[in-house]
Amino acid sequence: MSRQLALFVGVIGIVLMMVVPLPPMVLDFLILVNISVSLIVLLVALNTKAPLDFSVFPTLLLITTLFRLALNVSTTRSILGKMTGGEVIHAFGSFVVGGEPVVGLIVFLILVIIQFLVITKGAERVAEVAARFTLDAMPGKQMAIDADLNAGIIDDAEARRRRAEVEREADFYGAMDGASKFVKGDAIAAMLILAINIVGGLIIGMVIHGKSFAEAASIYTVLSVGEGLVAQIPALFVSTATGVIVTRAASGEGLSAELTEQLLSYPALLYIVAAILLLLGLLTPIPFLVSGSLAGVIAFGAYRIDRASKAPPPPPPEATSPAPQTTPESALSLIDMEPIEFEFGYALIPLADPKQGGDLMDRMLFIRRQMALELGFIVPTIRLRDNLQLKPNAYVIKIRGALVGRGEVQPDRLLAVGGEEIEALYGTRTVDPTFGLPAVWIDAKDRDFAELKGFTVVDPSNVIATHLTELIKRHAHELLGRDETKALVEHVRKSHPALVDDLLGVLGIGEIQKVLAQLLRERLSIRNLPRIFEALADHGTRVKDPGLLTEFVRQALARQITAQFVREKEALRVIHLGPDVEQKILDHVQRTDFGDYVALPPEDIEALYRRLSEAKKPFEAVGETPIVLTSPGVRRYVYDLLARLFPGWVVLSYNELEPTVEIQTVSVVTVS
């Protein structure tokens, strides 16, 4: 608060300096403050490692320029009104002019020209170009951050920090583009103020104070030049700092270290410079003492640099390296498991490296967006890493550290899958890693022929992305933990605060997570969270069983389930379970403290498996997934049983379908 108050008072005081007369002693103090501040700004700019480390510079440039102009107004008032601007201005004017007003005036004009035409003009152009290029590069930088996040190279916090840094960089260079105009205007104002001081001083000295032209010219020229110098020297410092800031590239080192490392990296070139200086001293009227001394200094410096570059590097310290490995905290990171890992052999590196044209990282980002839209579930960051223990073309996919899928792709070929005349294709026979269908790796030139034969032709990255997408759908319920559930609940709270408060009043995060995970297990989207939470809040007061709560939620999502499984203007083809089968399953439900499960005798399971295998043939003939239709009370038990016998089947109850749905019974499964 004290710093803010000091800033407020300082800025207001600068403005008041333009209208309130100040005594010469105060002017002396403020002029020295101006010189000191400008010198500090220049030194900080020289020591800054990256432009954003001095991000306050554009605002500081405005304040220092305003302070300098306010000083110009105050000193001009004092010079014209009292024929004095303080001891500092008089000292500067007397020292530079030295009895020759014309010389002092020329020196001042040269300083202004250097600042205006050289430093300020160049800094202004560099700032303008840097701002334009920075804005043009923003989309690419954002995509690179998303790619690193998707690949697991950085976490969410680091991605947010990098995005904020990109935005700050754009804001900084945009501000510098405008702030450089302050320095340009200051240089123009300095010349005008000098002319006003000299002309106005001559008129006031001769008319009001009765001085002769020579006396008035002597007094006011010295004061005007002195006032111009005490303003232009700090302005030159600040404009130089502006040029240093806008021409600096982020390197992690200060300017002095960079100059030493880059300018003196070639000692052989320094020997050439020393030899040229010696020749100039011998062959031209240039004093040999001067050129020879400088040549000796440069040659000696080159010798020292050459020796230092050839010296062996010092051995690394031994005491510091093993220390981190012995601490208990360092071992904790070894037990962490990534939610999703994609490991691949070295031959697949070009698919994952954007610099080599690989688009696998972009595919991973697309998968996360696709899962968010299809399942309403935010897939955790997919960690990509190469594994030299795998075959060159092989890859494995892990969920929570457990292997869930593997495959091989040929990065220089295309995969043809789905056709019937597989013998007609020339290539390497294989099996589609996602669905296990016969496939062939073919050359790119055979793509058109394969598509004419009815094959679907995909590139290696698409093969991997499809496999990964299918495995994420299959194991989405394993990826949804309590932390992820809490994040979803807090997201819904933003738009439905009363609903979330009611829900958390009857159910905990763990119970909500179990229901959502069960929905994902059966590949139902949880995107309509408000509707799901309403059903849980309605039934959670009297039901605590997650399985039964899931059934109530599924019934509340009847419209969504109908849209997912029923094609428009077509009947829903189903397998009906007979009442005797449903009753047998209910009779063998075992209720324990760890949940309910079906414990059918082995002979009944074998008979049910045989009848269901016969019932699924009509669906396989047309490439459809079998759908089993049951009564609401037995649906979850039937699903648990069929999930072991026929993974991937869909089990629906009558209450989960819209009343207008037309149902076509393909088969009826009974006990006998």
Q: What is the pLDDT at residue 526?
A: 92
Of the candidates 580, 633, 631, the residue with the CA atom closest to the CA atom of residue 607: 580
Helix (H, G, I), strand (E, B) or coil at 489: helix
Report the share of the chain in percent with pLDDT over 90: 21
DSSP 348: G
Q: How far is CA 49 from CA 161, 249, 253, in A?
A: 18, 8, 5
Of the candidates 562, 564, 573, 576, the residue with the CA atom closest to the CA atom of residue 657: 562
* Residue 317 confidence class, pLDDT cut points 50, 70, 90: very low
Q: Which helix (H) or strand (E) holds 123?
A: helix 121-151
* Residue 414 pLDDT > 90: yes
* Residue 27 confidence class, pLDDT cut points 50, 70, 90: confident
Tens digit of pLDDT for each residue in 626-660?
A: 999 999 989 999 998 888 888 889 999 989 998 88
230: burial class by Cβ within 10 Å (0-12, 13-18, 19+)? buried
Tens digit of pLDDT for each residue in 83-112?
A: 776 777 777 766 665 556 666 667 767 777
Q: What phi and psi, each to the nearest 5 degrees, are found at residue 240? A: -65, -40
Of the candidates 239, 62, 247, the residue with the CA atom closest to the CA atom of residue 173: 247
Which two structure tokens, joined as six digits, stand for 228?
Answer: 């111009």
Cβ neighbors of 504 (< 8 A, separation 6 or more) are: 489
Q: What phi and psi, each to the nearest 5 degrees, are found at residue 408? A: -135, 140
Q: How many residues does the chain have?
A: 672
The mean pLDDT of 412-429, rounded to a whole number, is 87
Q: What is the pLDDT at residue 320?
A: 42
Cβ neighbors of 148 (< 8 A, separation 6 or more) are: 154, 159
Q: What is the pLDDT at residue 535?
A: 93
Are the beta carbons of 430 and 394 closer than 8 angstroms?
A: no
Of 604 and 208, more confident = 604
Helix (H, G, I), strand (E, B) or coil at 389: coil
Give the position of tokens 């309590």. 482
Q: What is the pLDDT at residue 331?
A: 55
The mean pLDDT of 332-341, rounded to a whole number, is 74
- The sign one gets for the Cα dihedral 29, 34, 40, 43 is negative
Are the beta carbons of 211 and 219 closer than 8 angstroms?
A: yes
Helix (H, G, I), strand (E, B) or coil at 288: helix
Residue 497 CA to residue 519 CA, distance in Å, equals 23
* Residue 321 pLDDT > 50: no
Mean pLDDT of the chain: 80
Residue 244 CA to residue 665 CA, distance in Å, equals 80
Query: How many Å from the N-terminal Cα to the C-terminal Cα in the chain?
Result: 86
Q: What is the pLDDT at residue 369?
A: 87
Going through 351-496 in order, the beta strands assigned E by DSSP cover 382-386, 394-399, 402-408, 414-417, 428-431, 438-442, 456-458
* Residue 123 pLDDT > 80: no
* Residue 250 pLDDT > 60: no
Helix (H, G, I), strand (E, B) or coil at 43: helix
DSSP labels for 205-257? HHHTS---HHHHHHHHHHHHHHHHHHHHHHHHHHHHHHHHHHH----SS-HHH
Are the beta carbons of 252 and 49 closer than 8 angstroms?
A: yes
> Which residues, listed in sequence order, are joined to residue 429 by a DSSP beta bridge?
440
Which two structure tokens, joined as six digits, stand for 477?
Answer: 């319920």
The mean pLDDT of 137-148, rounded to a whole number, is 69
- The sign one gets for the Cα dihedral 143, 145, 150, 151 is positive
The mean pLDDT of 111-126, rounded to a whole number, is 68
Are the beta carbons of 193 and 76 closer than 8 angstroms?
A: yes
Largest Cα separation within the chain, whole Å, is: 132
The mean pLDDT of 566-570, rounded to a whole number, is 84
Residue 10 CA to residue 563 CA, distance in Å, equals 67
Tens digit of pLDDT for each residue in 355-376?
A: 888 888 888 888 888 888 888 8
pTM for the full model?
0.54
Are the beta carbons of 242 and 61 closer than 8 angstroms?
A: yes
DSSP 391: -
478: burial class by Cβ within 10 Å (0-12, 13-18, 19+)? middle
* Residue 257 confidence class, pLDDT cut points 50, 70, 90: low
The mean pLDDT of 565-582, rounded to a whole number, is 88
Of 419 and 476, more confident = 476
Are the beta carbons of 223 and 197 closer than 8 angstroms?
A: yes
